[in-house]
Chains A and B, each alone.
Chain A
Amino acid sequence: MATSRPKKYTKNTRNQQIQADMTYRALELLNLPPDEPAFLLDIGCGSGLSGEILDEEGYIWAGVDIAPSMLEVALEREVEGDLFLQDIGQGFGFRPGSFDGAISISVLQWLLNAETSHPTSSPPHRLSRFFTTLHSSLRNPSRAVFQFYPSSDDQIQLITSIAQKAGFGGGIVVDYPNSKKAKKVFLCLYVGGGGGAQQLPEGLDGEEAVEDGGKARFERRREREKTKNGKRKSIKDKDWILKKKELYRKRGKEGVPNDSKFTGPQAEASVLIYFMDLFLFNSSILHSEEVPATGDCVFRLIADEMALQRSHADPLPVLHFFCYNVL
């Protein structure tokens, strides 16, 4: 699969948000018993976006992906799950009953491309190998939820019929079927479950614009994380940073910054203020025509500093916004 994926998928924040939303929704559809540890398989884990959410929700997981470059990004993210380089169309080698469930975000459609004319690379053969080996590596009873982008009804038909032949029950759940943009197709498959006892969940309905009404089932989960001003609580808040620092110290990593009352957003703010002073000072000395160049240099400095403080976020867009709109 395309090695150009990493940049596109991990840098774009809107993409990240959509992926995160779909991961939460997939977990919801997985319907695991609450407050019980579960061992999940993340099929096409990529750069570990969904893995971070699995970590955060307290699941133990293993991930497979075909792109080594994406797995490298996942390693850099320090996700907790074990990673495998694997072509899912070749089937899995996991022992029977290894996993309590499986999720897969935007992956299944890749199995519909034939890359060579060899019989083992025909889409039906690859799909059948994939579903058969997945079925046996899942516990009974359990579920597997796949979000994917089918390009036609025939493709959905092909995928569901092969999944059924492999022994899965279940079917397709469509969220926001009437919206072009927000429409999401989920394949919910069941292993076992005693004769139709597992009922297919209903898709979310309504237009994408009806955020509060239409997203009811999403909303319930997020409600807890929202702070007073209505914004979602950042995953990487002060507690998270302190936890990570503690972890690094335990591992004996050198150069872990000391804890201070300015940790996380405050630290960024104080750094920013410091450089803003520097910037204003410089621009008052220099003539106005030289300011942009100095400014760029300062952006770079601030960016580097912020990258040191918090290596995960890309601070440049924020700074550009700040400097062009505020200054």
Chain B
Amino acid sequence: MVRLITHNLLACHVKGCTSNNFPLEFKDVQLVPHESWGILRYRTKLPRCLDDDFLKTLHHVLLEIHVEEGIMICPNCKHNYPISNGIPNMLLAEHEIG
């Protein structure tokens, strides 16, 4: 599952690609709503004053939607990380290893 909250942790790790390597751009994605509850308040350190409706929407966007198929593209070096079956392929070619 590539939930959007996880996508938010990913940066490009190709050799020499150190600036402007985040966030990876999505392309050709297939989204799937996904049910899970938990970490929102903790991970994002939201101010307590936000109302419940907003939190629910945010929770839905960050944790219940995940990408099943698609590609993530580095905005800097344009390396493509394909996602298949919900698992992103983060492998690099020999010349890209730092």
Please list the residues of chain A having a beta carbon within 8 angstroms of any beta carbon in chain B.
37, 39, 60, 62, 64, 66, 68, 71-72, 75, 80, 82-87, 90-95, 98, 116, 118, 120-121, 129, 133, 247, 250-251
Residue of chain A at shortest CB distance from B63: A60
* Cα–Cα distance between A159 and B97 once the two chains are bound (Å): 20
Any chain A CB within 8 A of the CB of B12?
yes
Task: Report which of A85, A247, A250 forms a contact with B88, defined as CB distance below 8 A.
Answer: A85
A83 and B86 form a contact (CB under 8 A): yes
Residue of chain B at shortest CB distance from A81: B1
Task: Report which of B2, B43, B86, B87 forms a contact with A39, defined as CB distance below 8 A.
Answer: B43
Q: Interface extent on B, as a size class?
A: 20 to 34
Chain B residues with CB under 8 Å of A82's CB are 1-3, 6
A80 and B36 form a contact (CB under 8 A): yes
* Cα–Cα distance between A83 and B2 once the two chains are bound (Å): 8
A60 and B39 form a contact (CB under 8 A): yes
Task: Report which of B9, B22, B38 forms a contact with A37, defined as CB distance below 8 A.
Answer: B38
CB distance from A140 to the nearest CB of B (A): 16
Chain B residues with CB under 8 Å of A121's CB are 94
Any chain A CB within 8 A of the CB of B16?
no
Any chain A CB within 8 A of the CB of B42?
yes
B98 and A39 form a contact (CB under 8 A): no
A90 and B91 form a contact (CB under 8 A): yes
Chain B residues with CB under 8 Å of A92's CB are 13
CB distance from A245 to the nearest CB of B (A): 14
Chain A residues with CB under 8 Å of B10's CB are 93-95
Task: Report which of B3, B90, B94 forms a contact with A85, defined as CB distance below 8 A.
Answer: B90
CB distance from A61 to the nearest CB of B (A): 10
CB distance from A237 to the nearest CB of B (A): 22
Task: Report which of A85, A93, A98 forms a contact with B87, defined as CB distance below 8 A.
Answer: A85
Any chain A CB within 8 A of the CB of B89?
yes
Q: Can you list 7 A-B contacts (CB < 8 A)?
A: A60-B39, A66-B91, A83-B86, A85-B90, A93-B11, A94-B10, A121-B94
CB distance from B90 to the nearest CB of A (A): 4
A133 and B11 form a contact (CB under 8 A): no
* Cα–Cα distance between A83 and B85 once the two chains are bound (Å): 10
Any chain A CB within 8 A of the CB of B92?
yes
Question: With A85-B87, A85-B90 known to touch, is A95 a contact of B38 (CB < 8 Å)?
Answer: no
For B9, B42, B43, B92, the residue with the greatest tally of chain A CB atoms inside 10 Å of its CB is B9
CB distance from A164 to the nearest CB of B (A): 20
A91 and B13 form a contact (CB under 8 A): yes
Any chain A CB within 8 A of the CB of B35?
yes
Chain B positions 1-35 with a Cβ under 8 Å from a chain A Cβ: 1-3, 6, 8-13, 22, 35
B91 and A120 form a contact (CB under 8 A): no
Chain A residues with CB under 8 Å of B94's CB are 116, 118, 120-121
Question: With A95-B11, A129-B97, A133-B13 known to touch, is A37 a contact of B42 (CB < 8 Å)?
Answer: yes
A90 and B9 form a contact (CB under 8 A): no
Task: Report which of B9, B12, B91 forms a contact with A98, defined as CB distance below 8 A.
Answer: B9
Interface digits, B23-65 against A, CB 8 Å rule (1 contact, 0 not)?
0000000000001101100110000000000000000000000
A84 and B38 form a contact (CB under 8 A): no
Chain A residues with CB under 8 Å of B13's CB are 90-93, 133
Chain A residues with CB under 8 Å of B97's CB are 90-91, 120, 129
* Cα–Cα distance between A98 and B6 once the two chains are bound (Å): 10
Residue of chain A at shortest CB distance from B13: A93
Task: Report which of B9, B36, B38 forms a contact with A94, defined as CB distance below 8 A.
Answer: B9
CB distance from A35 to the nearest CB of B (A): 12
Residue of chain A at shortest CB distance from B22: A95
B85 and A75 form a contact (CB under 8 A): yes
Chain B residues with CB under 8 Å of A60's CB are 38-39, 43
* Cα–Cα distance between A129 and B6 once the two chains are bound (Å): 22
